[in-house]
Amino acid sequence: MRIMELLTDDPHPPGEAVGDPGPEPSTASWPRVLLAAALGPLITGYAAVATVLAVVALTAGRTAFSGTGVLLAAGPGWLAAHQVRLGIGGHPLGVLPLLPTLGVVALAARTASGAARRLGCRSFRAARPVLITITAAHAAFGLVLALCAKGSPVTANPAAAFAVPGLLAAAASAAGIIRSCGLPDALADRLDPLALRGLRTGAASLAILVAGGAAVFTVVTGVSWATVADTYEPGLGTSAGLFLLSLLYLPNAVTAAMSFVTGPGFSIGPLTVGVFGYHGGAVPAVPLLGGLPEHHAAWWPALLVLPAAAGALAGWSLRRADAEPAQRVRAVAIAGAVVALGCVVLGTLAGGRLGDGPFDPVSVPVGVASVVAFCWIVIPGSFVAFFAGEHEPPAPPPEALEDNEAFQDADDIDVQEASKAVEELEAAERASEEDAEFEAEADAELGLEDPALPRESALEEDGVVTGGTETCGDVEPDEGDR
């Protein structure tokens, strides 16, 4: 768990440069630095490819070494290292080794980062000349090599030779500049910290899936080492060539193993290998493929615990990303999207056409693999992030607090008015009771025993007329009164 958190915690906030870019360079140093950034990766990559070809030519038996032939053959080799599909004698070759591609991408990224530092660029905008220079140099060099290869046994499409190396160089240079100068301002302003956390977690999850595929490939190769050893032919040159071929295509095999671990699997011609299915077929006799199974095994579905664990680790690393569970689930979805995109890129680069023979094509089901990988990250990751994190309701905004206080004041006013009305009602009831008691006392003084008898009738019986001038019926008025 701690490893996942270390992988996803970024010590540098968005837009912050890593390291001190140093003092501002003089204007005269810009052309020199840009020229070195443009030519450095091209010369280094071409020399590396020529060195590998020279070693193969020197160790191969019954082959005459030619320096000029090696230099000429290094051109298509450079294009293959940049994933430009070739044509060999009219037959397509699209399954290109990924190990040289990783090398040239790392070289371009490091060159761009170093050039940005030497130029004192403190933002991505200031380092854009470095990005443009490296991209244009790779695209132009690829186009020149494709045009020079016309009419030779190994050819390349000029449009692809221009576009593909340029795109790879642009992506690698952008990554190096971001590492040195930070994200572009337009992108940094639009991305919130939670989205960045999801992006880093997705990259770490993709690395975990690749590591799982590499572990499965290593174990299978070790168990089948006897078969792997039988694929080597006698002779130092042939064995060295097969070993070098297997080494260059090792990332391709790891990508296929990752697709197998997640479920969809891969195919080589008629051979199809998946967790839930298997269809046999012939394979090339190279050491890299010596560990391929000959039949389906019932325990293969148990390997699905590896991608499920990767998704659970992603959710665990994001359990404290936000106090609201819905936001944590959104970060997990971003991580799943990064993993799906990575599977699309790796699956596309790992496969392709392999001539027109029985082993054509080599493919990874990119669409299915990306969807399945997304689900492996999002489903267990969302479950863990939702239930392992906080569940307290978020604090209401200030406007809601003001509205709540206003409602409380209104409630207090209503309570006061109701209390006042109750007091007035009680006072009126007490006054009514006092009037009733007074009338009862008056009736008792007049000798009214029957409360049902009307008051006027009772007074008339006593000779008291309420509405007239006489007060008593038996008393005659005095003369003086008359």
Rounded CA separation 98/237 (Å) = 23
pLDDT of residue 422: 63
pLDDT recorded at residue 441? 65
Which residue, chain included where needed, has tokens 């991608």?
307
Q: For residue range 132-155, list pLDDT tens digits in order.
A: 999 999 999 999 999 999 988 999
CA distances to 353, 412, 414, 420 from 406, in Å: 72, 10, 12, 21
Return the C-alpha torsion angle 110, 112, 115, 117, nearest 10. Answer: -80
Q: 123: left (phi > 0), else alpha (psi -120 to 50), else beta?
A: beta
Strand partners, 87: 92, 155
Place of tokens 């493929």: 289
The pTM assigned to this predicted structure is 0.76
Amino acid, single-letter form, for residue 65: F
pLDDT at 276: 92
What does the block give as tokens for 377? 């990250």
Residue among 305, 290, 248 nearest 97 (CA): 248
Determine the pLDDT at residue 62.
Answer: 65
Any bridge partners for residue 352, and if so which?
A: 362
Average pLDDT, the chain: 82
Q: What is the pLDDT of residue 165?
A: 97
Name the packing angle between helices 250-262 and 325-350 (round to 10°). Answer: 130
Give the pLDDT of residue 399. 55
Q: What type of residue is 317?
A: S
Kindly report the CA angle at 424 between 419 and 425, in degrees rounded to 5?
A: 95
Q: Which residue has the tokens 């070809």?
A: 53
Which segments in the chain show pLDDT lower than 50? 1-22, 400-401, 406-407, 409-411, 449-482
Provide the Cα torsion 434, 436, 440, 443; round to 10°.
Answer: 120
Report the side by side order of strands in the sheet with 278-279.
278-279, 271-273, 266-268, 362-363
Tokens coding 169: 């160089």
pLDDT tens digit string along 357-388? 888 899 999 999 999 999 999 999 999 999 98
- Give the Cα separation of 81 and 104 in Å (integer): 7
C-alpha pair distances (Å), 463 with each of 60, 247, 443, 455, 476 = 153, 137, 16, 13, 13
Query: What ranges do the domains of the chain cover?
Result: 30-189, 191-391
- Cα 194 from Cα 311, distance rounded (Å): 18
